[in-house]
């Protein structure tokens, strides 16, 4: 019988952060995960979707994936079950499926017509079932075939939702039949938005879900399930009952997720009974920090992070009231002395608002002469005269080059 199962999801292998590649982080994460599988003596691994960040993973991303699968197949872990998420290409994940089955790696990329194809019966050395897994991949409209011409958005959503429920229920019926009369745990896997789930601002889930913004009630998961391993939301969390969970993504997908605890879940079983679930924290392999403030606050933070003597990727937002001038140049000039600091993103979100509205109420835009416009901007940005003196000749030069009338 299986005693330990590890649940993880949302790896997003190949994910970049503001155009920075993150392969090193992925390699470190998988090396760490192999260590956990070994030290915890994990016997089955469940991966609840979003294996890759996009539908055409790079050779490097695939190398990382297959190396990991190879290493796990040689470890204490006897079974691996992987479903696709909304980021994955179902066909791409499925392609090596028959070969991987030889290593007891089960892939369900594409939603199946026959519900029994999504019921994976994991067997021990003697051929006895030791775990039944309902491996339901991310379900798209076309998978549940609910859309009818003429449906409005509400009707389309309602029928997608009922199509999803229907699909799960058929898979559960099959699984409960397979497990009938045996003391064997039955688990579900899914990649969906369970009602009540927490989403972190800027983690890319909300925006990517547009079109199929359906939230599924957790009553979908029947009581006979020992555990439900979900993917899609990026912070580890329990949904309604302790045995319906999101493991969350192991890496912060963006600065919005930085500082948020990342985890994988390790379940302990006694026969068909779940005796414990623990979240094991994933170490931070690349520190991400946000800096926000006026010029002196930004530089104070840069100085602080420079003093940390570790690799830090920064997201900088200028919110001061003065025009920042050559913000990028000033920051570049500073960080070039600290190779461990990298500014991935720099934004000017100054607090000097209101000018756009004022300009709109000004006569008509083409009645305003260019130089007059510059002075409107000075006034509304409250640019000190000393700075105006720098801008005016530059502006003249631009106008001359553009052949504009002053």
Q: Is 10 in the site for Mn ion (CB under 5 A)?
A: yes
What distance in Å separates the CA atoms of residue 356 and residue 321, rounded to the nearest whole number? 16
* Shortest separation between residue 348's beta carbon and Mn ion, angstroms: 30
CA distances from 373 to 220, 322, 323, 378, 395 (A): 60, 18, 16, 9, 11
The residue range among 4-12, 62-70, 195-203, 315-323 that interacts with Mn ion, by the rule CB under 5 A, is: 4-12
Minimum CB separation from Mn ion for residue 249, in Å? Answer: 6
246 touches 230 (CB < 8 A): yes
- Residue nearer to Mn ion on the CB measure, 10 or 118: 10
Residues 25-54 that bind Mn ion (CB under 5 A): 50
Stretch that binds Mn ion, among 5-13, 267-275, 276-284, 376-384 (CB under 5 A): 5-13
Helix (H, G, I), strand (E, B) or coil at 376: helix
| DSSP letter, residue 140 | P
| Cβ-closest position to Mn ion | 50
Please choose, out of 2-10, 169-177, 322-330, 345-353, the segment that lies near Mn ion by the rule CB under 5 A: 2-10
- Shortest spacing between CB 132 and Mn ion, in angstroms: 25
Q: Which of 386, 369, 370 is nearest to 323 (CA)?
A: 386
Name the nearest CA neighbour of 72 among 45, 94, 46: 45
Positions 254 through 283 that interact with Mn ion (CB under 5 A): none
Q: Sheet containing 44-48: give its strands across.
A: 105-108, 79-83, 44-48, 4-8, 263-270, 273-281
Q: Which stretch binds Mn ion (CB under 5 A): 6-14, 284-292, 311-319, 388-396?
A: 6-14
Identify the three-state secondary structure at position 28: helix
Instruction: Provide the mask over 154-183, with x wherever binding to Mn ion is found by CB under 5 A and - wherever it is not.
Output: ------------------------------
Burial class (CB in 10 A: 0-12, 13-18, 19+), 281: exposed
CB 191, min distance to Mn ion, A: 8
The DSSP H or E segment spanning 237 is strand 237-239
Asked if residue 88 binds Mn ion (CB under 5 A), the reply is no
Q: Decide whether 204 or 320 has the Cβ nearer to Mn ion.
A: 204
Q: Are 131 and 187 in contact (CB under 8 A)?
A: yes
- Minimum distance from residue 56 beta carbon to Mn ion (Å): 17
Q: How far is the CB of 40 from Mn ion (least distance, A)?
A: 24
203 binds Mn ion (CB under 5 A): no
Residues lying near Mn ion in the complex (CB under 5 A):
10, 50
């Amino acid at each position: 019988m299986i005693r330990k199962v590890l649940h993880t999801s949302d790896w997003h292998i190949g994910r970049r952060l503001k155009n920075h590649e993150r392969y090193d982080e992925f390699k470190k994460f998988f090396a760490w995960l192999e260590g956990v599988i070994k030290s915890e003596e994990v016997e089955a691994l469940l991966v609840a979707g979003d294996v890759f960040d996009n539908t055409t993973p790079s050779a490097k991303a695939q190398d990382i994936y297959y190396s990991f699968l190879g290493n796990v197949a040689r470890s204490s872990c006897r079974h691996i079950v992987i479903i696709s998420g909304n980021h994955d290409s179902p066909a791409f994940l499925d392609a090596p499926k028959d070969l991987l089955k030889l290593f007891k790696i089960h892939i369900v990329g594409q939603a199946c017509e026959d519900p029994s194809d999504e019921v994976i019966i994991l067997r021990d050395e003697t051929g006895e079932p030791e775990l039944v897994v309902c491996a339901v991949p991310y379900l798209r409209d076309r998978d549940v075939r609910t859309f009818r011409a003429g449906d409005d958005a509400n009707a389309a959503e309602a029928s997608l939702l009922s199509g999803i429920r229907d699909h799960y229920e058929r898979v559960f019926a099959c699984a409960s039949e397979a497990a009938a009369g045996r003391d064997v745990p039955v688990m579900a896997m899914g990649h969906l938005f369970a009602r009540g789930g927490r989403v972190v601002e800027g983690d890319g889930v909300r925006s990517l879900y547009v079109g199929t913004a359906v939230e599924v009630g957790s009553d979908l998961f029947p009581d006979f399930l020992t555990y439900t391993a979900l993917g899609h939301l990026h912070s580890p969390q329990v949904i309604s009952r302790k045995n319906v969970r999101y493991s969350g993504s192991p890496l912060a997908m963006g600065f919005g997720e930085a500082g948020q605890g990342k985890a994988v879940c390790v379940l302990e079983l006694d026969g068909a009974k779940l005796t414990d679930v623990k979240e094991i924290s994933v170490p931070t392999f690349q520190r991400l920090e946000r800096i926000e403030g006026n010029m002196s606050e930004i530089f104070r933070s840069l100085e602080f992070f420079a003093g940390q003597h570790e690799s830090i990727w920064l997201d900088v937002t200028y919110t001061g009231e003065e025009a920042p001038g050559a913000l990028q140049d000033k920051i570049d000039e500073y960080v070039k002395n600290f190779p461990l600091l990298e500014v991935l993103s720099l934004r000017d979100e100054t607090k000097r608002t209101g000018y756009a509205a004022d300009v709109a109420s000004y006569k008509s835009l083409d009645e305003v002469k260019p130089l007059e416009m510059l002075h409107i901007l000075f006034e509304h940005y409250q640019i000190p005269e000393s700075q105006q003196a720098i801008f005016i000749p530059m502006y003249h030069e631009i106008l001359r080059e553009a052949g504009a009338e002053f």
